[in-house]
Structure 1
Amino acid sequence: MRLGGRIQAAIEVLQDMESRNRPVSVALKDWGNNHRFAGSGDRNAIGNLVYDALRKRASTGYMFGGEDAEALIFGTLLRQWGMSLAQIQEALADDKFAPEIPVARIEAASQKDLAFMPSEVEADVPAWVSDHLEEAFGDEWVEEAKALAERPPLDMRVNTLKAEREKVLKQLSKQGAKPSKIARQGMRISAKGGASRMPNVTAEPAFQKGWFEVQDEGSQIVADLVFAQGGEQVFDYCAGAGGKTLALAATMDNKGQVHAYDADKQRLAPIFDRLKRAGTRNVQVHAADAEIDHLHGSFDRVVVDAPCTGSGTWRRHPDAKWKLTEDQLESRKLEQAAILDTARNFVKPGGYLCYITCSIFQDENEDQIYAFGDRHDDFDLLGAGEVWEELFGTDAPKPWTTDFNCVTLTPRTTGTDGFFFAVLQRLK
């Protein structure tokens, strides 16, 4: 396919999402199934166009006077793909599959005065979200939000049960893998622009051998901050697909035991294949409907990677940004409080309760921790920043939080997805 056909396809995918209220991943998959002639490069380029358009939907729509699919895709070519009107016209010349170029709209958008662009539009977030971001980041909230509208890198974690980082980096050198700036066993392939695509690292022999896992660097960092030690009993209470379970098992060098549990059996299902490939021997998986009350007071560390809005992952899931509602946020807050109140029962006296979200909203983060402390005076909030400095030193990029009681990672400060981490100790 030439660029014109890819543009037309991207417009159709956005229109399908709008008319049928479908997730971007489903709309792209359906388009691919209905257009078997399209090669992997075509599908990747179309996906890039669609995802880039969704990341900056509000600001592009402001420039073009509307958030229709035509405006978003041609605006993406101009703003994020670095193409001029002349370059677009040249690329689409004599392409029978190309849509008509909206020349007048592009010219008007190029000369639009952006001085009076509302802050939430510049930040590319829903208007109601701006108050929550300002509460979290103060005067810097717009810049923090803008960083969440950029393309993410591809991050991986070396599985130290099977390989060392230098060995895996050598295997992935042709794919452009470099050591992460913070995560101790992290590797990164930086994002590129335009139609470029990330390598399929899961097809590499090193992945099949279990030498590494695909995992955002922020997720690796918060798993490290749990500070699990070999020989301990650790409970991953919201294990999901097992990313942090695997990281904890490797950190503990297969010594002690990690118990993995999730109330949603569908989320937990992938963990079994991942554990086998990784060569873990110290993980016990509990079924979603298993009776686990007998484990109360048994664990040195209980990890709660709580269900949340996912606002910290908007680089990877930009459509979720525009679908999120205040009611959904309120529902998540209630769920988080209930999970914390339940998970605390599994911490033994002197043990630690580690709270994690992939959100950047204070409502789901600090507010939850301080409210939990008000409800349970037998837990004391510790300074996560001290562990940060012990693990990562003082030269690495710093997290957002300044008091270091709680740690907030963001794309702007740490170059990762948005994550929150706090740790409390049970006193009695």
Structure 2
Amino acid sequence: MTPAARISAAIEVLADIDARRRPASDALKDWGLSHRFAGSKDRAAIASLVYDALRRKASAGWIMGDNAPRAVVLGMLRLQRGLNVDAIAALCSGERFAPEPLSANERERLDKADLSGAPPHIAGDFPDWIEPFLQRLLGDDLVPEMQALATRAPLDLRVNTLKVSSREEAHDALPHLGAVETPLSPLGLRIMPGEDGRGPAVQSEPEFLKGWLEIQDEGSQLVALLSGAEPGEQVVDLCAGGGGKTLALAAMMENHGQIYATDNDARRLAPIHERLTRAGVRNVQVRTPRNKADAVSDLDGRIDCVLVDAPCTGVGTWRRNPDAKWRLRPGSLETRRKEQATVLDRAARLVKPGGRIVYITCSILPEENDDALSSFVERHEGFRPVSHEELLGKPGLGFLKNATRRTAYGLQLTPQQTGTDGFFVAVLRKA
């Protein structure tokens, strides 16, 4: 496919997303199935165009004066890809499979491409209704933080210390990937996306297949480290899902002690078994719920550390899932808050005296973070937040003191400040 044909395809996929209000991945998959002549490089390039357009949907529509898929793609090419008017016009020739030629109005708007005077939700590319919630945390940093959340995310890897002695050993084994050490996580390697947004097929690398590496955002690695899990402890990962943080905890505990991994949705646990085997993990017991029964009721009052990777709106992952921000609705926040309260109350029953709850979200909304914990503490008088000084005093994590935002209850990571996804973490200790 020609570059112009790929742009036409991206416009077509965006129109499908708008019409059917569904995830971009589903629309791209259906497009690929109905256009089998498109090769893997073509499909990857089209996906990159679609996701870049979704990242800049508001600002691209603003400069074009139109939110239609064609206008958004043209505006994205100017704002995100940095193409000038002549370069965009050359792609829109109207020839076979190419978009129609630019109109005089489109040329004029692309030439000016001015975001000065744009309101924050336009300049930062996010839904306008969520601005008051974001403002509570970000204040004057609202626009630059949200612009950082609209950029492409790197591919981060966690080195599995159960299989390899050091990050340096793993790095030296993969020179062809162009990986660099992550600036904050002592276990991370980072691969920046190419111009087309694609990264290498890490899952096919021998080192990955041997369990040396796991794909995990640096922020996710950091919040796992801040849990303070130690060898010999009894730990419950209450919202384990596919097991990313379970694997990180197992490595921290050096396969000593016991981790119970469970999730109220048994389907989400499906990938964890193969991942545990590949990573060489031996101290994890997967508890799959049956008929909605509580899979860890026998552990109440016995657990040192309960990890609550809570259900949330996922605002902090918008770099990786830009379509999700345009599908998020105001009612979703209240739904997630109720789910957070339920899982926190369940965690409280598991913790033994002196034990702790590690509360994590991939959100930057205070309503899902500090507010959720404030309500929890009101319901459970025996729990108090661990201080920032104690959290950041863990060996090897002191460098985070000037990197994270401190909130009333915990620490907030953001793309602009830490270069990670937007993770929140707090630790509550039971008296």
Could you tell me the TM-score, scaled by structure 1's length? 0.96
Q: Is the 8 A contact 1:299 1:346 kept in 2?
A: yes
What fraction of aligned residue pairs are identical, expressed as a percent? 49
Distance in 2 of aligned mates of 1:424 and 1:346: 13
Q: Is the 8 A contact 1:355 1:422 kept in 2?
A: yes
User: Structure 1 120/419 Cα, relative in aligned 2: closer, same or farther at 3 Å?
Assistant: same
Report the more deviating stretch, 263-272 or 70-79.
Answer: 70-79
State yes or no: 1:327 paired with 2:327. Answer: no
- Matches for 1:217-228 after TM superposition, within 5 Å: 217-228=218-229
Q: Is the 8 A contact 1:144 1:412 kept in 2?
A: yes
State yes or no: 1:37 paired with 2:37. Answer: yes
**Residue of structure 2 in register with 1:132 after alignment:** 133
What amino acid does structure 2 have at the position aligned with 1:72? V
Post-superposition shift, 1:139? 1.6
Distance in 2 of aligned mates of 1:265 and 1:403: 33
Give per-residue Cα distances to partners, 1:82-117, cap 9 Å, x unaligned: 211212334565852111132421322432553321
Q: Is the 8 A contact 1:296 1:346 kept in 2?
A: yes
**Residue of structure 1 in register with 2:89 after alignment:** 89
Q: Is the 8 A contact 1:385 1:404 kept in 2?
A: no
User: Structure 1 391/49 Cα, relative in aligned 2: closer, same or farther at 3 Å?
Assistant: farther
Q: Is the 8 A contact 2:228 2:394 kept in 1?
A: no
Q: Is the partner of 2:406 in helix, strand or coil?
A: coil
Distance in 2 of aligned mates of 1:77 and 1:201: 29
Report the more deviating stretch, 377-386 or 83-92.
Answer: 83-92
Distance in 2 of aligned mates of 1:196 and 1:380: 43
Picking from 332, 353, 358, the partner of 1:354 is 358
Q: Is the 8 A contact 1:300 1:348 kept in 2?
A: yes
Post-superposition shift, 1:172? 2.2
Unaligned segments of structure 2, at least 5 residues: none
What amino acid does structure 1 have at the position aligned with 2:11? I
**Residue of structure 2 in register with 1:303 after alignment:** 307
Alpha-carbon RMSD across the aligned residues, in angstroms, is 1.7
User: Structure 1 85/242 Cα, relative in aligned 2: closer, same or farther at 3 Å?
Assistant: same
**Residue of structure 1 in register with 2:57 after alignment:** 57
Post-superposition shift, 1:25? 0.3
Distance in 2 of aligned mates of 1:365 and 1:286: 27
Report the more deviating stretch, 49-58 or 288-297.
Answer: 288-297
**Residue of structure 1 in register with 2:74 after alignment:** 74
Q: Is the 8 A contact 1:385 1:406 kept in 2?
A: no
Q: Is the 8 A contact 2:93 2:99 kept in 1?
A: no
User: Structure 1 103/397 Cα, relative in aligned 2: closer, same or farther at 3 Å?
Assistant: farther
Distance in 2 of aligned mates of 1:13 and 1:91: 18
**Residue of structure 2 in register with 1:122 after alignment:** 123
Q: Is the 8 A contact 1:357 1:365 kept in 2?
A: yes
Q: Is the 8 A contact 1:215 1:243 kept in 2?
A: yes
Distance in 1 of aligned mates of 2:98 and 2:393: 54
**Residue of structure 2 in register with 1:170 after alignment:** 172
User: Structure 1 345/395 Cα, relative in aligned 2: closer, same or farther at 3 Å?
Assistant: closer
What amino acid does structure 2 have at the position aligned with 1:170? D
Post-superposition shift, 1:136? 1.2
Report the more deviating stretch, 179-188 or 390-399.
Answer: 390-399
Distance in 1 of aligned mates of 2:404 and 2:213: 28
**Residue of structure 2 in register with 1:154 after alignment:** 155
**Residue of structure 2 in register with 1:370 after alignment:** 374
Post-superposition shift, 1:292? 2.2
User: Structure 1 75/241 Cα, relative in aligned 2: closer, same or farther at 3 Å?
Assistant: same
Post-superposition shift, 1:291? 3.9
Unaligned segments of structure 1, at least 5 residues: none
Q: Is the 8 A contact 2:84 2:111 kept in 1?
A: no
Q: Is the partner of 1:128 in helix, strand or coil?
A: helix
**Residue of structure 2 in register with 1:12 after alignment:** 12
Q: Is the 8 A contact 1:399 1:408 kept in 2?
A: no
Report the more deviating stretch, 50-59 or 170-179.
Answer: 170-179
What amino acid does structure 2 have at the position aligned with 1:102? L
Report the more deviating stretch, 106-115 or 88-97.
Answer: 88-97
Post-superposition shift, 1:421? 0.3
Distance in 2 of aligned mates of 1:357 and 1:217: 14
User: Structure 1 291/239 Cα, relative in aligned 2: closer, same or farther at 3 Å?
Assistant: closer
State the aligned residue count.
Answer: 426
State yes or no: 1:423 paired with 2:427. Answer: yes
Q: Is the partner of 2:117 in helix, strand or coil?
A: coil
Post-superposition shift, 1:392? 4.1
Distance in 2 of aligned mates of 1:114 and 1:210: 46
Q: Is the 8 A contact 1:181 1:397 kept in 2?
A: no
State yes or no: 1:272 paired with 2:276. Answer: no
Post-superposition shift, 1:403? 5.8
User: Structure 1 14/200 Cα, relative in aligned 2: closer, same or farther at 3 Å?
Assistant: same
**Residue of structure 2 in register with 1:142 after alignment:** 143
Post-superposition shift, 1:396? 5.4
User: Structure 1 192/107 Cα, relative in aligned 2: closer, same or farther at 3 Å?
Assistant: farther
